[in-house]
Every structure is written in structure tokens, then in C-alpha cells.
């Protein structure tokens, strides 16, 4: 376990509680896991190096304060970040080496934050940020857990960096031959989105009952919360998705998105999650999916309809 102490001043620009810009500095991509996290570590050049299986306990001293943790993925795969034991409203972000935000978990209050994303080889930063508008408890530490694993289908997931460079060509592209013929309505729900999205046409060996998940879907949980599901890649037993949601109408939590590898059953169901469990099945006409979200005794339902991303 890595423990942390005093704080320093960082170089992030925070406006309205959101991470907007960073003064990035070049550095070597390789590192060894550090036995301690020296201060300051509020910018990429001083970020604390971590490796798989790391458990960190650290403190936030003031509203808007930041802790940065750097890790390198050698062969591509899935990374998991769990932020828990929160004494105040802290948020969790994952960025690439260029400062692009790849994922965010920004629940309201002290609810745990979690990110599970599929990434290509490269260097990344996990960022713990205190809400600038909320009080913090500098006497109680948070806990951050980091793990990673190789994924069998990760090699064919498009590079996030390449996706940005080719966004004009690929963003909004839908697969062909994987469901009812278009044109479909343009996606319009007000959800955050990744910098680039690429839907890869499933291989011809994938059963049609699974391949037809490929593409973009959107709807409202309980006819209230706008959400979007983008199935970027489909394999025999797994899929790469982007799941996004808008700000809750009552202000309970902020909007966000994540990219994740999820399970796909032979019977035709997408499912993922631990504390909050999601399951989606496709309708017989292939034009909609029915979703269920379970967390404890709370059960929510949604019907999402196939849509075309804006080009």
C-alpha cells in the first residue's frame, strides 16, 4: 500500500467543478512502481507512478485539490480504478498522455467512483479531484485501487489516439448488415460523449443475434434520465461499449460516460457491473433494446432505440 502526505499546488484548470485543461509536460513512458508518492504530484511531470494491484491511501486538503497517478499499459487491455472511503465529494478521471479525458466517474456526494475501460498500449493518468465547490475533510484518507488485465479482443479495438486523428472519417459510422436497414433517426439525447467513437462491423462468423447489438442506441431511464449505449465492437462472448448518461434532472449526479468491455451471452444479452448491474436484450425487430439496472432493491428500466450518430 502506498500512503501519501502533504499537498502541493497543481496546474489543472478547473471551472464549474469540471476538469478543463492541463499544462502537460513530456516525460519518459516507462516507470517502476514507487514505494512512496512524494509531493507535489499535482501535474503530469510529478505524478506518482503506480502498477497493477496498487492500493493507495491519500488525503485531499482543499476544495479543487488534485492527485495524479501515472501508469503504463504495455500490451493493451482493461484497466480498473476504484475510488472509495470518500470523506467528501471527490471525482475520478482517466486521461491519456496528451491530456484527453477518456473516462470520468462523478457521482454526487461520497458514493464510490469506478472506471473500467479498455485501452491501447500507452501511458495514462488517474486523477482524483475534490469538487471545488464543496468542503473537504483533510484528516481522512480516500482509497484508490488500480488493476489491469489483458483482453483477448483488445488487439482489434481501435486506438483512442488514432480515433481522434480519424474522427472526421469514423465518428458516427454505423455498421452495415447487422440489423434492419436504415436510415435511422439521428441520435439526439443530451449526453456527454468521448472525443471519438468508432463502430466496427462484426465479423461474418458472429451470430446475427449478437451482431445486431452493434451500433448506437438511446433512451431515457424511467422516462426521465437521457442515456446512450454505443456498441463499438462485438465478439462471440464480449463487446466493447460506450455508455453515457446526462445530468440527473433533480441534480442528484452529473452526466458522464465510460468505455468498457462487457459480457455478451449466447442467448443475446449484454450485461456488466457489480454494485450497479446492467443488462440489455435486443427486441425482436432489432430496432430497440430493453435495459434493466439493479442496485440493491432499486430497479430501473429503459427502452433504447437504434439511432445514427452525427457525422
Task: Indicate the domain borders of the chain.
Answer: 2-150, 159-307
Report the C-alpha gap between 86 and 109 in whole angstroms. Answer: 9
Q: Closest Cα partner for 288 from 176, 185, 177?
A: 185
Report the C-alpha gap between 307 and 12 in whole angstroms. Answer: 36
Q: What is the pLDDT of residues 194-207, one digit of tens each?
A: 777 888 888 889 88
Q: Are the C-beta atoms of 108 and 31 separated by less than 8 Å? A: no
Q: Which fold has domain 159-307?
A: Lipocalin (2.40.128)
**Cell numbers of 103, please?**
473516462
Q: Can you give the pLDDT at residue 100?
A: 82
Q: In Å, what is the CA distance from 52 to each residue of 31, 49, 86, 87, 308?
A: 12, 11, 22, 25, 38
Report the C-alpha gap between 86 and 66 in whole angstroms. Answer: 14
For the chain, the straight-line distance linking the first and the last C-alpha, in angstroms and rounded, comes to 46
243 CB-contact burial (10 Å; exposed 0-12 / middle 13-18 / buried 19+): buried
Q: Are the C-beta atoms of 98 and 162 separated by less than 8 Å? A: no
DSSP 10-78: --EEEETTEEEEE------S-----SS-PSP-SSGGGPEE--TTEEEEE---STT-EEEEEEEESS-EE
**Cell numbers of 73, please?**
499499459
Report the C-alpha gap between 155 and 29 in whole angstroms. Answer: 20
Q: Can you give the pLDDT at residue 160?
A: 30
| Residues 234, 99, 201: CA angle, nearest 5 degrees | 15
Exposure class string for 102-140: b at 16+ Cβ within 10 A, else e: bbbbbbeeebbbbbbbbbbebbbbbbbbbbeeeebeeee
- The sign one gets for the Cα dihedral 258, 259, 260, 265 is positive
176 CB-contact burial (10 Å; exposed 0-12 / middle 13-18 / buried 19+): exposed
In the predicted model, residues of the chain with pLDDT beneath 50 are 4-35, 151-181
Q: Which fold has domain 2-150?
A: Jelly Rolls (2.60.120)
Q: Closest Cα partner for 105 from 71, 128, 134?
A: 128
Classify strands 113-119 and 66-73 as parallel, antiparallel or unpaired.
Answer: unpaired
Q: Can you give the pLDDT at residue 35?
A: 41
Q: Can you give the pLDDT at residue 86?
A: 92
> How many Cβ atoms sit within 10 Å of the Cβ of residue 234?
28
Q: Can you give the pLDDT at residue 172?
A: 36
DSSP E strands, the chain = 2-3, 12-15, 18-22, 48-49, 54-58, 66-73, 77-84, 90-96, 101-105, 113-119, 122-130, 142-149, 215-221, 225-234, 238-245, 256-265, 269-272, 277-282, 288-295, 298-307
Amino acid at each position: 500500500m502506498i500512503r501519501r502526505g502533504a499537498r502541493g499546488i497543481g496546474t489543472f484548470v478547473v471551472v464549474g467543478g469540471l476538469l478543463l485543461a492541463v499544462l502537460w509536460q513530456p516525460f519518459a513512458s516507462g516507470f517502476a512502481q514507487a514505494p512512496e508518492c512524494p509531493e507535489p504530484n499535482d501535474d503530469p511531470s510529478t505524478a506518482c507512478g503506480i502498477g497493477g494491484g496498487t492500493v493507495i491511501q491519500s488525503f485531499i486538503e482543499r476544495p479543487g485539490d488534485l492527485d495524479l497517478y501515472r501508469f503504463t499499459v504495455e500490451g493493451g487491455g482493461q484497466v480498473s480504478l476504484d475510488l472509495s472511503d470518500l470523506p467528501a465529494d471527490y471525482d475520478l478521471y482517466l486521461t491519456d498522455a496528451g491530456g484527453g479525458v477518456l473516462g470520468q466517474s462523478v457521482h454526487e456526494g461520497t458514493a464510490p467512483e469506478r472506471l473500467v475501460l479498455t485501452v491501447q498500449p500507452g501511458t495514462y493518468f488517474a486523477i482524483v479531484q475534490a469538487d471545488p465547490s464543496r468542503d473537504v475533510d483533510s484528516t481522512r484518507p480516500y482509497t484508490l485501487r488500480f488493476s489491469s488485465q489483458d483482453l483477448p479482443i483488445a488487439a482489434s479495438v481501435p486506438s483512442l489516439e488514432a480515433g481522434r486523428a480519424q474522427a472526421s472519417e469514423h465518428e458516427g459510422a454505423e455498421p452495415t448488415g447487422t440489423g434492419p436497414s436504415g436510415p435511422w433517426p439521428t441520435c439526439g439525447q443530451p449526453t456527454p460523449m468521448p472525443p471519438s467513437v468508432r463502430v466496427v462491423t462484426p465479423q461474418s462468423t458472429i451470430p446475427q443475434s449478437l451482431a445486431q447489438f452493434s451500433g448506437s442506441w438511446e433512451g431515457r431511464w424511467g422516462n426521465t434520465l437521457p442515456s446512450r449505449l454505443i456498441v463499438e465492437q462485438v465478439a462471440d462472448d464480449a463487446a466493447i461499449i460506450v455508455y453515457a448518461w446526462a445530468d440527473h434532472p433533480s441534480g442528484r449526479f452529473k452526466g458522464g460516460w465510460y468505455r468498457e468491455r462487457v459480457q455478451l451471452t449466447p442467448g443475446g444479452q449484454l450485461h456488466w457491473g457489480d454494485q450497479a448491474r446492467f443488462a440489455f436484450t435486443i427486441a425482436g425487430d432489432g430496432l430497440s433494446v430493453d435495459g434493466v439496472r439493479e442496485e440493491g432493491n432499486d430497479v430501473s428500466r429503459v427502452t433504447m432505440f437504434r439511432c445514427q450518430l452525427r457525422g
